[in-house]
A and B are shown apart, each in its own frame.
Chain A
Amino acid sequence: MFGLDKKHTNLLLLVAALTMLAPFILNPFPEGSGMAQFNAGYPDLMQRFVIFGIFAIGFNILFGLTGYLSFGHAAFLGVGSYAAMWMMKLLTMNVIPAIAVSIVVAGLFSLLVGWISLRRSGIYFSILTLAFAQMSYALAYSVLTPITGGETGLQPKLQDPRILDGALEAGASPRANLFGLEMTSSFEWSVGSWLFTFNVGYYVAAVAMLLSFYMAIRIFNSPFGMMLRAIKSNQQRMNYTGLNSKPYTLAAFVVSGMYAGLAGGLMVAMDTQVGAERMFWTASGEVVLMTILGGAGTLIGPVLGAGMIKYMENIMSKINETILHQWFAFLPDGIENLLVAMVYPFIGKGWHLTLGLIFMLVVIFLPGGLVEGGQRIARLFKRKKPSSDTPDGKTTPAE
């Protein structure tokens, strides 16, 4: 189906099912129960899951296939966001032009950055991209304040021109929409004590993610993808055979920059605000973490990594001391306080610490990321089948 073999069709269908049913999957606990705070099925976080999924998929096309580690990918995300915001301010609050322009602008900017940075490889390439990203951040934060709004960032204002939109009704504020369907509108469906939220913005982003995922599968399986893998395994040998590898790396860089631009444009479409810290180097580092945590070079890995990090950031960081005391309230006071004191550094504002530990464990024991973990578990179950055929669990060598 869709020009894919059976294995990849199944993967695509699985991802489609997961994204479309996310409001159910992410809200497993009933409202008002003690576990409800682990629910992630609210629009903002669901949107973040798929948007950062797109960002990580794009990053993986560069890093996973060619092995070039870009440390400045957040710059493309930021540039895409600013472009989308200006479209919303000048043209229309409809998200289509905003997202289209964000992809194009991020693509052009990555062409420039890539053309310069790809003259070097390895650590020098990483440092060059990092330098570009920090330059972009500094420009956006202060030098270009008239265009970027500096520290305060940009938001749609009542007095913006928006030449394609009609005048706003009195009292209405500009809202991102898709031909009139507002990104923030959602309907809620309560079944028993469960409450599921279906948000328009989330489904727009989810469809974009599915398209990006499909594109990534096609790229992975194409001759172009094979060429990129060849660059990763031995670029020197490629060059000695007389093949110019630079157009391929540059193309991969631009494609991955456009993915970042799409993610940036979607971020603005979901939440109409853009600030310079979106381009800060920690944001670039985050996407590297996502990709490695999930499994670099695999299709689904970066999406899993993005989901994991965003979940930790948004859910773990909100558990405060009071909630901990509620959890351990059934214990005697002394033990309760001791347990709270032991757990507290790892939750709330200490979520970075927990993330760091998980990252270390994954890199040391599962170098292939969460995907490798999944594969190992799958292999455990698969190995049992052949072993059940032979009584002693061993295959007898043929004489």
Chain B
Amino acid sequence: MSKTNLTRRGLIKTGAVAGAAGLTLPTYLRADGHSGFTNAPTGSTVTLGFNVPQSGPYADEGADELRAYELAVEHLNGGGDGGLMNTFSSKALQGNGILGKKVEYVTGDTQTKSDAARASARSMIEKDGAVMITGGSSSGVAVAVQALCQEAGVIFMAGLTHSNDTTGKDKKANGFRHFFNSYMSGAALAPILANNYGTERKAYHLTADYNWGYTTEEAVRNSTEAMGWETVAAVKTPLTQTDFSSYIAPVLQSGADVLVLNHYGGNMVNSLTNAVQFGLREKQVNGKNFEIVVPLYSRLMAKGAGANVKGIFGSTNWHWSLQDEGSKAFVQSFGTKYGFPPSQAAHTCYVQALLYADAVERAGSFNPCAVGEALSDFQFDGMGNGPTLYRGEDHQCFKDVLVVKGKENPTSEFDLLEIVEITPVSQVTYDASIFGGELGACNPGA
């Protein structure tokens, strides 16, 4: 079977033949009138699509992401105090929108479901003419929407997605991720764990039974085993599980002295609470104190788990208590507008919006290929994570990773985590080819 690649233009030609036969001729083609890419903005405005979970298990993160985007739009259009635009190392952004066009936005609800997220993103692209889609709070959604954007020919700036797959085996030329991933969590955590708990530990993993859980378990396992730890068992728990008692009980019999909870969100809150209730943390096994580790931490999770997080190690992308200029500026403008400090989800989304706008300014065009080129191997600073590289091979950001610990004496409901160490970027960098997958070529659509 021969596959002729029929484009819109080709279809118009067919239409012209039909027109000769007396049919009405289509007179106008959206893609044709512009400069050859999907949804090229023509008027005085440009539309961005903010696709975040507004309902479902990650609605809290989604709400915070939306706040961050609204703040970013305000700053891009020259309102507010400018936020991170003042500390950002690239000075291309003028506060007059993007390329002089006022930034407008549309919002959608991903419901944390790939189908709903894609439907929402498609309506933004097809109906509202969005030239970039960003947001999301789970890896399944990020991978699904990223693939859609690749097909449709728009840029996707991932929100909170921690799985290796997003920029690993499912990476796409039109997709970019600022957030860190499971591999980096493992690599950053392992040395700290070895320092604090010694190198002769027996670990027991409880892993959420889906892709993110698998990649996180693998990452933590590989990096701790390299330090000399032994993995006793790794048990998968259903994502919908709310009571983990039956999974915690066997931990005590296994002879393990560390419990790793590869859980996120409500899962982690429940499993950690169960583990603490079972008195695991007061136990002595193999002559050592029993310890619990949570690879991916967020402030919202720490809030849910309450006092149970005290002294428990984990990693995070960013925390509002960082004292560099960028972080301070962001916390300042977010706090002024909303009255409380931003979460890491808000931070990564805000930064992604600014990075996109900056790349368009530098490229001088909204064309996804030009933007992609401007972002690839782009080095920047002043965004709260120290010097950062957007690696061209897999469109993943490389920056320092924070290792945090539940605070023993929190002073407020937001002050739940303390930073133990800032793991330098060199320690978490990996070869782009280890996860497989192909970036492919950029697709400008049309």
A contact set with B: CB distance below 8 Å: 39, 42-45, 48, 92-94, 138, 141-142, 145, 150-153, 155, 157-159, 164-166, 169-173, 175, 177, 179-182, 184-190, 195, 197-198, 200, 271-273, 275, 277-278, 280, 313-314, 317-318, 320, 348-349, 352
* Interface SS of A by simple majority: mixed
Closest to B59 in A: A349
Q: B139 to A152, Cβ gap below 8 A?
A: yes
Q: A166 to B2, Cβ gap below 8 A?
A: yes
Given A45-B123, A314-B119, A348-B54, A151-B139 contact (CB < 8 Å):
yes
Give the total number of A-B pairs whose CB atoms are below 8 A apart: 160
Please give, as numbers and ranges, the residues of chain B lying within 8 Å of A145 by CB-CB distance: 210-211, 214
Interface centre among B3, B114, B148 (most CB of A within 10 A): B3
Given A166-B2, A171-B440, A173-B443, A150-B210 contact (CB < 8 Å):
yes
Q: A153 to B148, Cβ gap below 8 A?
A: no
Q: B144 to A39, Cβ gap below 8 A?
A: no
Is B22 an interface residue, CB under 8 A from the partner? no
Can you list 10 contacts pairing A with B, beta carbon distance less than 8 Å? A44-B123, A172-B441, A180-B3, A180-B4, A187-B11, A188-B26, A275-B113, A277-B113, A317-B109, A318-B107
Q: A273 to B118, Cβ gap below 8 A?
A: yes
- Min CB distance A284 to B, Å, is 14
Q: Mark B1-20, 1 if CB is under 8 A from A, else 0.
A: 11111111001100100000
Q: B126 to A43, Cβ gap below 8 A?
A: yes
Q: Mark B424-446, 1 if CB is under 8 A from A, else 0.
A: 00000000000000101101000
Q: A173–B170 Cα gap in the complex (Å)?
A: 13
- Min CB distance A80 to B, Å, is 14
Q: Mark B212-249, 1 if CB is under 8 A from A, else 0.
A: 10100000000000000000000010110000000000
Is B175 an interface residue, CB under 8 A from the partner? no
Partner of B6, one of A43, A172, A181: A181
Q: A152–B118 Cα gap in the complex (Å)?
A: 13
Please give, as numbers and ranges, the residues of chain B lying within 8 Å of A318 by CB-CB distance: 106-108, 120, 123
Q: B3 to A177, Cβ gap below 8 A?
A: yes
Is B30 an interface residue, CB under 8 A from the partner? yes
Please give, as numbers and ranges, the residues of chain B lying within 8 Å of A187 by CB-CB distance: 8, 11-12, 15, 26, 29
Q: A349 to B55, Cβ gap below 8 A?
A: yes
Is B314 an interface residue, CB under 8 A from the partner? no
Please give, as numbers and ranges, the residues of chain A lying within 8 Å of B138 by CB-CB distance: 151
Is B151 an interface residue, CB under 8 A from the partner? yes
Please give, as numbers and ranges, the residues of chain B lying within 8 Å of A166 by CB-CB distance: 2-3
Please give, as numbers and ranges, the residues of chain A lying within 8 Å of B150 by CB-CB distance: 173
Q: A190 to B28, Cβ gap below 8 A?
A: yes
Q: A44 to B11, Cβ gap below 8 A?
A: no
Closest to B26 in A: A189
- Min CB distance A164 to B, Å, is 6
Task: List 3 A-B pairs, minimum CB-CB distance, nearest first.
Answer: A171-B441, A275-B114, A44-B122
Q: A158–B169 Cα gap in the complex (Å)?
A: 11
Please give, as numbers and ranges, the residues of chain B lying within 8 Å of A275 by CB-CB distance: 113-115, 140, 144
- Min CB distance B5 to A, Å, is 7
Q: B119 to A142, Cβ gap below 8 A?
A: no
Q: A173 to B151, Cβ gap below 8 A?
A: yes
Q: B118 to A142, Cβ gap below 8 A?
A: no
Q: A169 to B5, Cβ gap below 8 A?
A: yes
Please give, as numbers and ranges, the residues of chain A lying within 8 Å of B257 by CB-CB distance: none
Please give, as numbers and ranges, the residues of chain B lying within 8 Å of A349 by CB-CB distance: 54-55, 59, 109
Known: A138-B238, A273-B114. 6 other contacts (CB 8 A): A94-B1, A152-B211, A166-B2, A173-B443, A187-B8, A317-B109
Given A142-B238, A152-B170, A165-B3 contact (CB < 8 Å):
yes
Is B415 an interface residue, CB under 8 A from the partner? no
Interface centre among A92, A141, A177, A197 (most CB of B within 10 A): A141
Q: A189–B54 Cα gap in the complex (Å)?
A: 34
Closest to A191 in B: B27
Q: Mark B103-132, 1 if CB is under 8 A from A, else 0.
A: 000111100011110111011001100000
- Min CB distance A188 to B, Å, is 5
- Min CB distance B125 to A, Å, is 8
Partner of B1, one of A39, A164, A175, A280: A164
- Min CB distance B424 to A, Å, is 30
Closest to A181 in B: B6
Please give, as numbers and ranges, the residues of chain B lying within 8 Å of A314 by CB-CB distance: 119-120, 123
Q: A159–B26 Cα gap in the complex (Å)?
A: 37
Please give, as numbers and ranges, the residues of chain A lying within 8 Å of B118 by CB-CB distance: 271, 273
Is B269 an interface residue, CB under 8 A from the partner? no
